[in-house]
Amino acid sequence: MKLKLKKWMDYYVGGLLIAMLRPVVILLGILLRRDHTLDLRKSLLFIKLQGGGSLVIAYPGLLALRRKYPEIKLRLLTTTALKPFAETIGVFDEILVLRDHSFMSLFASAGYCLLKTIGTDTCIDFEVYSRLSGVFTLLTLARNRIGFYLESMFWRKGLYTHLVFFNRFSGSFNFYEQTVRLFGALPANHSICREHLKKQLSLPAACAASSSRRIVLAPACSELGRERMLSVDQWRAFFQRRFTTGPYPEFIFVGTHQDLDLSRRLEMELKAISPEIHTENHCGKFPLQESLRVIAQADEFWTIDSGLLHFARILGVHCVSFWGPTDPQTRLKPFDEVSEEVYYKKIPCSPCIHVTEEPPCRGNNVCLTLLLRGRGIDRQSEVPLPVFLPHSRSS
């Protein structure tokens, strides 16, 4: 199923179901007077359906909860795309997968997952914007149902027993971690997360030294917010600024099969700078964990706002990242142990992803273009703001 259809279903079908269920839930809450004390009993279900990077951002909190309550069964409801992320962080006892490649498979798998999770003691919904995740949370009949709210909590009241404010302009890690603090778990520090992740990846205590400097480059991201990606021209501008003379490092590309065309074009750009630059392209060849093993052995990791970046930061690799449609302060938790270069220039229309339904530039990411041109912008009036004009037919 395409992302646009999934969003449509979530908004309209989810909205209809909430309107139907909410009055009944409020009435039953008054009549039943269930005990909503915040303690964990037997099982805890997390829901995360979009954005593997967000699951990694929540890693310190999830690991803390796992360590504090080893006897509690932790389960995750997620999608096929996020399953590798969940398996990699290694904190869940069971991962339930919604197969969302078609409507029928989604409906069937949702029914199966609901039967498996009805009666769970506590459910934490990590989806900030989804309506259907709220409906699923409610249908589990969990004693405690914890979720987020944004500017308004009207539609979420009743669906959840406890609501945590989610400020889109602050670090998202704060709010994921707040949900586990409700149960007395303090987020794990960077060194604990790093050692746990290295164990999950079966990495040696020290990586073997390489004869040449190695840079791993992941130029793409998921379909959720492709505006985050740099174009070939934008990458070329950074390459030319970074490399004026040799010796040149070795470049290794990682990503999915969909990233292969872009990575090959970037290989050509690097060869145009110097034929001496050696490249390897593993896009579409490696599963997530193997790509992370490659990143762990690199000297540097270059990327955009992506899930791989959050893994690389935990692994302690020097990271170079580019931001524009998203604000790094809302995604990157400060770690003293992390060495990184973060490229971001605040302009009035940034951030736009997760703030507006469709970015005003329609993918022509002005923020990244201005950043890589190296223009000194000190006053908002100097920024040519994109204007969103809806498509219309001529009269």
- pLDDT per position in the chain (395 positions), as tens? 888 898 889 999 999 999 999 889 888 888 888 889 999 988 999 999 998 999 999 999 999 999 999 999 999 999 999 999 999 999 999 999 999 888 899 999 999 999 999 999 999 999 999 999 999 999 999 999 999 998 877 788 888 999 999 999 999 999 999 999 999 999 999 999 999 999 999 988 666 666 679 999 999 887 777 788 888 888 988 898 888 887 899 999 999 999 999 999 999 999 999 998 999 999 999 999 999 999 999 999 999 999 999 999 999 999 999 998 889 999 999 998 899 999 988 888 888 887 777 777 777 788 888 777 754 333 333 444 454 444 444 33
Residue pointed to by tokens 């409801």: 77
Q: Tell me phi and psi for residue 311, to 5 degrees.
A: -65, -45
Could you give the CA distance from residue 248 to residue 245 in angstroms, rounded to a whole number?
A: 8
Residues contacting 55, CB < 8 A, separation 6+: 48, 78, 82, 85, 86, 89, 126, 307
The CA-based diameter of the chain, rounded to the nearest angstrom, is 75
Residue 31 bridge partners (DSSP): none
Could you give the CA distance from residue 97 to residue 77 in angstroms, rounded to a whole number?
A: 6
Could you give the CA distance from residue 115 to residue 317 in angstroms, rounded to a whole number?
A: 42
Which amino acid appears at position 140 of this protein?
T
What six digits make up the tokens of 320? 């170079």
Residue 252 bridge partners (DSSP): 216, 280
Of 171, 197, 183, 177, residue with least CA distance to 85:
197
Of 294, 24, 311, 268, residue with least CA distance to 139:
24
Which CATH fold would you assign to the domain 214-377? Rossmann fold (3.40.50)
The CATH class that applies to domain 3-188 reads alpha beta
C-alpha distance from residue 128 to each of 118, 363, 391 (Å): 22, 23, 29
Could you give the CA distance from residue 189 to residue 120 in angstroms, rounded to a whole number?
A: 29
In the chain, ranges of CATH 3.40.50.2000 domains: 3-188, 214-377
Within the chain, strands assigned E span 43-47, 73-79, 94-98, 122-125, 144-149, 162-165, 214-218, 250-253, 279-281, 300-304, 318-322, 340-343
Of 337, 339, 367, 342, residue with least CA distance to 352:
367
pTM of the shown model: 0.89
Which amino acid appears at position 347 of this protein?
I
Cα torsion 76, 81, 83, 85 to 10°: value is -100
Could you give the CA distance from residue 119 to residue 263 in angstroms, rounded to a whole number?
A: 47
